Structure 1
Amino acid sequence: MKVFLLWMSASLCVSTIGSDVDVVDTDIENDFETALKCDACRAVAFKFSEYFREAHGELLLTASLKEEDIVEAAEATCDDSWEGYGVTEVDGIERLTGPGTGVQPETEVEVDPIWPRRLQDMCDELLGETPDEKTLYNIWLSASSLEEYLCKGDGLFAACSSSDWGPWPGDDYDDYEDGGDFDYIHDEF
């Protein structure tokens, strides 16, 4: 009887809270694309690190880039061609493999022309939601984790911390499903 009353109390509590509660379930088997979305976000964070490292070049770690150099490096990240990514199966789950994903393929990698576009769109979305390019650069410069900031936060920044992250950025574009040529020219924010 006590168990039943406890269950009823919990049910009433949940029903009065309603849909305002966002319960994070990190079980990657709930959405078959959850692992792919996290892998994609990790790849984007990796690319931002690469471009900031390249732009930083020979500067001492105590020095920082000029704001225009930071903006240029961040935008160049999203303008990259995003080649070398594909899908493989690891432990029965589809995963994205390529630079920065950390995924080692167990089987042959399936290359799909949609990945450069998806990665670029995700990069644009994450950059557009970041307060400014300097925020990303300062996180990188402080040796904090860009992956932690971009992928394990809340909302759009939760690709690795939510099993219901939402649709891929850009999925609603008319030309997304055409299978036609994608020339890596996209809208800027």
Structure 2
Amino acid sequence: MKIPHLSWIFVALCLCVRAEGDIDFVDTETEEDAEAALKCDACKIVASKFAEAFADIQGSLKPTISPKDEEIIEAAEGTCDEAWEGYGVVLVEGVERLAGPGSDVKSTKVMLEDGIWSRRLQDMCDELLGEAPDEKTLYHTWASGGLLEEYLCRGEGTFGACSAGNWGPWPGDEYDDYDDSAEFEDIHDEF
């Protein structure tokens, strides 16, 4: 019985073996993302904005009373609808970092504001909110002790901007209307 693909199997095995049984494995290590610190900063800014919105709706209530579901949803979705102005890149100890309202990045260097950050922050906000089980989960995570940044930025997958060396592309980068050089004109894509 003739086996037609036996020669291909032999060729494949030969390609994997370098010398006397040494197997050549493909390097699966991912490269470090040059913008990893910026993505982490952006996630922390988004988390601080969610926390600020939840504090605003909780502020008028007694600490033992939770806001209505509609108020929580409105606060979370309203956060992503913000203009996200006043953000830019600064150089801190040789690393580009994102600074602006809600950022823990402090720098005496002049901040270069760039319109791209409005879009990136808004898209990241939409991405995080869209991947969360629901708005109430975010609210209860915040209300239970302020671990919202930990939940949104130091987890896995979408929630791992601060825990992954290569988190992935910026949310929105793959859309045709997304252009780093274009001015952000209050366009908000719904996901």
TM-score scaled by structure 1?
Answer: 0.82
Larger radius of gyration: 2
Q: Please tell me whether residue 47 in structure 1 is matched to residue 49 in structure 2.
A: yes
The residue that corresponds to 1:3 in the other structure is none
Q: Does the Cα contact within 8 Å between 2:116 and 2:183 map onto a contact in 1?
A: no
- Structure 1: runs of 5+ lacking an equivalent: 1-10
Matched residue, 1:136: 138
Q: Is this contact kept in 2: 1:32–1:93, CA < 8 A?
A: no
Give the aligned length.
169
Return the alpha-carbon distance in structure 2 between the equivalents of residues 85 and 51 of structure 1. Answer: 19
Query: Per-residue CA shift, 1:77-108, capped at 9, x if unaligned?
Result: 00011011110000000000012220012411
Amino acid at match of 2:150: E
* Uncovered stretches (5+) of structure 2, i.e. residues with no partner: 1-21
Q: What is the alpha-carbon distance in structure 2 between the residues aligned to residue 170 and residue 52 of structure 1?
A: 25
Residue of 70, 73, 89 corresponding to 1:71? 73
1:5 is aligned to: none
**Structure 1 letter corresponding to 2:123:** D
The answer to whether 1:186 aligns with 2:188 is yes
Q: Which amino acid aligns with 1:35?
A: A
Question: In the alignment, what sits opposite 2:19?
Answer: none
Q: CA deviation at 1:178?
A: 6.4
> Is it true that 1:95 corresponds to 2:97 in the alignment?
yes
* Matched-pair contact (CA < 8 Å) for 1:41–1:159: yes
- Tell me how large the CA RMSD over aligned residues is: 2.2
Q: Runs (4+) of structure 1 moved beyond 6 Å?
A: none
> What percent identity do the matched residue pairs reach?
59
2:148 matched residue in structure 1: 146
